[in-house]
């Protein structure tokens, strides 16, 4: 199947927002999505963007059942390893179910890798949910390894009241 991989633009935010919700539904967490199309426009396409996007697009004659031509995306940003330096973090990678199995996911991830390498990064990091076997298998096949399993690193979060208390110096 014919498809294009390109950098996301402001105009893509509507479809990115749609697909973020689809991915959240797949992860059984759609009620947790607070970010709107407008937030994406401001946070991703201003002078100092907090993320970058890649879009997978199909020609009109291959559009989805609901009429969409933007059928996959990846959101990524640059991070820093105090051991190795510049790194790229792939925050989201998603292809609509009816467009899977055609190499689109791999091509999106490839593009993020290409851009990361061009920016001087030496690693690509991301997180996967432990029940998501098909994704785990896909990534392990690409030569990724599970840092949580192998090194015992756990992802921690401090948010909401806890963050406010920490800021005020309460124990």
Partner 1 sequence: MASFILRKAEPKDVSDILRLIKELAKFEEMEDQVILTEKDLLEDGFGDHPFYHCIVADVPKQHQSADSHVIIGFAMYYFTYDPWIGKLLYLEDFYVMKEFRGFGIGSEILKKLSQTAVRTRCSSMHFIVAEWNKPSIDFYKRRGASDLSLEEGWRLFKIDKQNLLKLLAILHAVQNGSTAERFV
Fill in the DSSP letter of residue 134: H
Q: Is 139 a catalytic residue?
A: yes
For residues 83 to 102, the per-residue mask of contacts with partner 1, x marking binding by CB under 8 A and - elsewhere, is xxxx--x-xx---------x
User: Rounded to an integer, what distance in angstroms lies between the CA atom of residue 24 and that of residue 28?
Assistant: 6
- For residue 139 the two structure tokens come to 């990534």
Q: Which helix (H) or strand (E) holds 116?
A: helix 104-118
Q: Kindly state the smallest distance separating residue 12's Cβ from partner 1, in Å.
A: 13
Q: Which helix (H) or strand (E) holds 54?
A: strand 52-57
For residues 134 and 118, the answer to whether their CB atoms sit within 8 Å is no
Half-sphere exposure of 92 (CA within 13 A, CB side): 22
Q: Kindly state the smallest distance separating residue 34's Cβ from partner 1, in Å.
A: 5
Residue 159 binds partner 1, judged by CB under 8 A:
yes
Closest by Cα among 79, 84, 59 to 69: 59
Residue 10 binds partner 1, judged by CB under 8 A:
no
Binding partner 1 by CB under 8 A: which of 46, 98, 101, 122?
122
Instruction: Find the binding residues for partner 1 in span 136-155 (CB under 8 A).
Output: 136, 139, 142-149, 151-155
Binding partner 1 by CB under 8 A: which of 6, 38, 100, 133?
6
Q: Kindly state the smallest distance separating residue 6's Cβ from partner 1, in Å.
A: 4
For residues 10 and 41, the answer to whether their CB atoms sit within 8 Å is yes
Residue 162 binds partner 1, judged by CB under 8 A:
yes
Instruction: Find the binding residues for partner 1 in span 47-66 (CB under 8 A).
Output: 50-51
Binding partner 1 by CB under 8 A: which of 10, 15, 34, 64?
34
Active site residues: 139
């Amino acid at each position: 199947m014919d498809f294009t991989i390109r950098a996301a633009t402001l105009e893509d935010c509507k479809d990115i927002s749609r697909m973020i919700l689809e991915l959240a539904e797949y992860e059984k967490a759609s009620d947790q999505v607070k970010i709107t199309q407008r937030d994406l426009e401001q946070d991703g396409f201003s002078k100092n963007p907090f993320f970058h996007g890649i879009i997978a697009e199909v020609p009109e004659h291959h559009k989805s059942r609901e009429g969409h031509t933007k059928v996959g995306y990846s959101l990524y940003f640059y991070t820093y390893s105090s051991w190795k330096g510049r790194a790229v973090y792939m925050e989201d990678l998603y292809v609509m179910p009816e467009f899977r199995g055609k190499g689109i996911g791999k091509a999106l991830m490839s593009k993020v890798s290409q851009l990361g390498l061009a920016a001087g990064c030496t690693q690509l990091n991301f997180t996967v949910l432990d029940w998501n076997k098909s994704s785990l298998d896909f990534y392990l096949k690409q030569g990724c390894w599970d840092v949580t399993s192998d090194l015992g690193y756990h992802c921690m979060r401090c948010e909401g009241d806890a963050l406010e208390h920490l800021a005020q110096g309460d124990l």
